[in-house]
Structure 1
Amino acid sequence: MSSSTDITLDERAAQLRDALGTRVVLAGDPDYDAVRLPWNVAIDQRPFAVVTPESAEEVVAVVRAATAAGLRVAPQSTGHAAPGLSETDLSDVVLVRLSALRGVTVHPEARSAIVLGGSHWNDVLAAAAPHGLTALHGSAGDVSVAGYSLNGGVSFYARKHGLAVNTVRSVQIVTADGSLVRASARQNTDLFWAVRGGSGAFGIVVSLEIDLLPYADVFAGMLLWDASYTAAVSRAWARWTASAPESVTSTLRVLHLPPLPELPPFLSGRSVVVVDGAVLESDERATELLHSLRELGPEIDTFSRIPAAALVQVHMDPPQPTPAVTRHRVLDALPEEAVAAFVAASEDPGLFVAELRHVGGAAARPAPDGGAVSAVAGEYIAHSIAVVPFPEAAPGALVAATAYVDALQPWAGEALALTFLDGGMDRAPGFGASLDRLRALKEQWDPRNVFAAANPV
């Protein structure tokens, strides 16, 4: 990136130290191994340096110091998307961890919130709930709002309300020249278009304004059976989703769970099939819609009206950092043959999760005023997760995760969902027809390729 190619790495480190003092952590420093660790601990990321700024002004200082030293910059909030960044050579990259840049201000009259760049969805839900509001959050509360939203974001509200990226009203972003700028529908409109999908490739988002939803509570939960019911449940769920209204967003999953003491007894050491999701209807209508699935006699049925903030717990995502590899495809349809393929592929004990997520509806309709990514062109997302308990297990986990989505390839379209991308996957289908314009704007806003992103354009 830099024209100062003669400067040594030690000299660049000294320049960072001079500019940033003790805020910069370099390889060899006592805190390096702790601060470089992403949420997905299967990824052994080793950047040139790590800085954890506590304000927008400090982010500006980091970008200016890094570029002055001929170094690149990579924003990272939690590290859920670290597998994508692992494909980048980080030997000259300053990792900017946004974990200290958290906070949410809710504007209930406008039904919106200002969210600092490192905030998690749990932060938003806690702030919005007292006002009877919620957001298009993901299935895990510890995922960053900025990374999730600006890469699309498929929530349990998606079929009715679309992708989370379409709720972003504006961003405050530090660009490659170290400027702090606002991008919205009225200011820096080309950058605003690009960052809604192009995300970290264009700068470091230090805050964003998002729309909120007027739900104090929702009808949501899960139905659980032993995995011996997988074929029957899968066929029923496929028929159910084929006619379900857009008020229903759900997933079908087969989980192969190890015998761990931290798991509740009804899950530990078992294989189970689960349907979970949200039904944005009255209790009576929701009960009517769920009838055909409940006729299958689930072992556990938690569907009921719950506080909206509790929806984030329904999917039972791991609460602690988990080493894993994932793969996904976006399916155009789910005919009987595809259901049979799902049932067969889900039996692999090497999988932690084999999932089908129902999208379509508003999630598949591009927003008229949307950014680079505003929809997922498909009806279902086939998603697999395989745990990597130790590094040597990674190849086998990847084989299992890949075999599952390959089994469903005959029904896949060309699209991919950015928030589901993992290492070793082609990013281009996630951007679709927007890729050429994104690349042109990348050249305009970041001509020296300062920013390294988990989903590079």
Structure 2
Amino acid sequence: MSVTPFPGPGGGLRALGSRLEGTMVLPGDPGWDAARAAWQLAVDQRPAAVVLVRSAADVAATLETARACGLRVAPQSSGHNAAPLGPLDGTILLRTVEMAHVHIDPVRRLARVGAGAVWGEVSAAAAKHGLAGLAGTASDVGVVGYTLGGGLSWFARSHGLAANHVTGATVVTADGRVLRVDADHEPDLFWAIRGGGGAHAIVTELEFALFPVTEVHAGALYWPIERAGQVLTRWRDWTATVPDTVTSLGRLLRFPPLENIPPTFRGRSLVAIEAVAQLGHEAAGTLLAPLRELGPELDTIAPIPPSRLDLLHLDPPGPTPAVGDGLQLSALTDETLAALLAVAGPDADVPLLTVEARHLGGALAPGALPGGAVSSLDAAFTMFSGGIAADAASSAAVHAALDALAAALAPWRAPLSYRNFRERPDIGLAFEPDHVRRRLRQVKQAYDPGDVIRANHPIDPSP
């Protein structure tokens, strides 16, 4: 696509608006604040413009304008992991929320979804055919961004990362080309988008495998947080015995005393174990017996369809002002648990609503499944923690608590991080081994040497 000269950024942006199927919103326009808002409300996004695209042609036109005006383009669907983008000066925020089509092919067991689709839409559509995708815990997370970053689902130990099961995509490159990428077309780019993040091209449509799962045993067990040491130790020991058809996490929860929180949880601090077992009733009961022996105060584990798994993790039902971050652990020893509980356990005063450790292994282990840039998580457990950041003071308090937690767990920290759980600006921790990072940079240099496409976790195109 040829580059049309514009009289400068302002004039170029105004000209773009007349070329779009979608909508462009500039600072001061009606709807500006709504258009620029991420799901993560603690992030105050202030781009040069927001473009609400409806087609690959809109994306190509936006990239053409950005190049002509000396701007960059940051694609975004829901904006769950918006903080690492940093300030958006000189950047067009390209929102894909209006590209939310979902098509299910029940014969081939494939989903083809637009860049704005969220997991709740895909799960509901797939369930009509007795199928399930590798969805995250929250129904309003964008499918494309989640998958490009790896995608850790409740079926992760049996099926690996969502990125492992991508079969193809439609992308727009920085120079405005609309390409089909798969194993036979643009294989280097296909490799990069499977787990390597969104820095190489803008994905407008994604195709991936679905699985014939119609029922699982899933739910949570809750105890008062004072029993955290006993419960988490039992859970840690239990994870060493479970089959790959079981994915679980241990979690410390501190609920604020808000009216919209159910009375069972309101204002309380609890320790919980959440589990999803692809097992029959008798096998699941036998498997869970060691946890139930501890006498949970509340037990919600029951047979449910996969489309209801988005209720399990108690994720916020809508946009929320929060700060969170993740890390990975090579081991969860007695010493690790003691360090964790010292800074976030029952005797700690911390502003973290959740501190959780997810059991990895199985199909997530290195070499277990083929895939793209990131096809596994080389750790024993991955953690995510976060708290509400309604103002500057509460945000600072949550950041301090996350730093303290990371420092306490440093002796057991795995060398690599998980891209989707890193929600603060990069601090130099890698998401992939050096040789993979070098190849990602080579692909970036081949497809976006000017670094026009801006991702929340960037890839430097420099040689």
Please give the TM-score of this superposition, normalised by the length of structure 1: 0.95
What does residue 375 of structure 2 align with? 374
Q: Which residue of 1 aligns with 2:321?
A: 323
Identity rate, percent: 41
Moved more, 408-417 or 368-377: 368-377
Whole-angstrom CA distance in 2 between matches of 1:105 and 1:63: 27
Query: What residue number does 1:451 align with?
Result: 453
1:49 positional shift: 0.3
Secondary structure of the corresponding residue to residue 105 of structure 1:
strand
Tell me how far apart the structure 2 counterparts of residues 335 and 358 of structure 1 sit (CA, whole Å): 13
Q: How far apart, CA to CA, are the structure 2 residues paired with 1:21 and 1:352?
A: 41
More deviation, 343-352/123-132: 343-352
Q: In 2, distance between residues paired with 1:248 and 1:21?
A: 45
State the Cα distance separating 1:367 from its structure 2 match.
5.7
Residue in 2 that maps onto 1:361:
362
Partner Cα distance (1:7, 1:436) in 2: 38
1:5-44 pair list within 5 angstroms: 8-17=8-17, 19-20=19-20, 23-44=23-44
RMSD: 1.9
Residues 346-381 of structure 1, C-alpha deviations (whole Å, 9 max, x = no match): 234311111111111211234664111111100101
Matches within 5 A, 1:258-269: 258-269=256-267
Match of 1:441 in 2: 443
Contact kept in structure 2, 1:114 and 1:209, CA below 8 Å: yes
State the AA in 1 paired with 2:421: F
- SS at 1:429 equivalent: coil
Tell me if structure 1 keeps the 8 A contact 2:156–2:247. Answer: yes
Contact 1:366 / 1:375 at 8 angstroms: preserved in 2? yes
- In the alignment, the residues of structure 1 paired with residue 411 and residue 316 of structure 2 have an alpha-carbon distance, to the nearest angstrom, of 31
CA deviations on 1:298-344 (whole Å, 9 max, x unpaired) are 11111111111111211111111111222222111111111222222
Report the AA paired with residue 353 of structure 1.
T
Match of 2:401 in 1: 400
1:121-160 aligned within 5 A: 121-160=119-158
Could you state the TM-score of these two structures normalised by the residue count of structure 2?
0.94
Q: Using a 3 Å threshold, how does the CA distance of structure 1 residues 6 and 177 change in structure 2: closer, same or farther?
A: closer
Post-superposition shift, 1:5? 12
Corresponding residue number in structure 1 for 2:304? 306
Tell whether the 8 Å contact from 1:119 to 1:144 is kept in structure 2 after alignment.
yes
Amino acid at match of 1:34: A
2:66 is aligned with what amino acid? A
Segments of 5+ residues of structure 1 without an aligned counterpart are none
Measure, in 2, the Cα distance between the counterparts of 1:444 and 1:250.
Answer: 40
Question: Aligned equivalents of 2:88 and 2:16: distance in 1?
Answer: 16
> In structure 2, do the counterparts of structure 1 residues 432 and 325 end up closer, same or farther at CA, with 3 Å as the change threshold?
farther
Superposed CA deviations along residues 205-246 of structure 1, whole A, max 9, x for unmatched, are 111111011101111111011112111111111111122221
Distance 2:265 2:116 in 1: 32
Name the aligned partner's letter for residue 57 of structure 2: E
- The whole-number CA distance in structure 2 between the counterparts of 1:130 and 1:108 is 9
Contact 1:20–1:65 (Cα < 8 Å) also in 2: no
- Answer yes or no: is 1:97 the counterpart of 2:95: yes
**2:180 aligned partner:** 182
User: Could you tell which deviates more after superposition, 403-412 or 149-158?
Assistant: 403-412
Q: Return the alpha-carbon distance in structure 1 between the equivalents of residues 78 and 99 of structure 2.
A: 11
> What's the CA shift for 1:425?
3.0
Q: For residue 289 of structure 1, what is the aligned residue in structure 2?
A: 287
Count of equivalent residues: 453
1:115 corresponds in structure 2 to 113
Report the CA distance shift for 1:98/1:366 in structure 2 as closer, same or farther (over 3 A).
farther
SS of the counterpart of 1:286?
helix
Q: 1-side partners of 2:5 and 2:240: how far apart?
A: 58
Q: Secondary structure at the match of 1:243?
A: coil
1:284-310 per-position Cα deviation (integer Å, ceiling 9, x unaligned): 111111001001111111111111111
Q: Does 1:432 align with 2:396?
A: no
1:40-71 deviation digits (Å, cap 9, x = unpaired):
01001100000101222222222223323332
Structure 2: gaps spanning 5 or more residues: none
Q: Bigger CA drift: 272-281 or 386-395?
A: 386-395
2:128 is paired with a residue whose SS is helix
1:227 matches 2:187:
no
In structure 1, what residue type is equivalent to 2:111? Answer: A
Are the counterparts in 2 of residues 77 and 144 from structure 1 also a CA contact under 8 Å?
A: yes
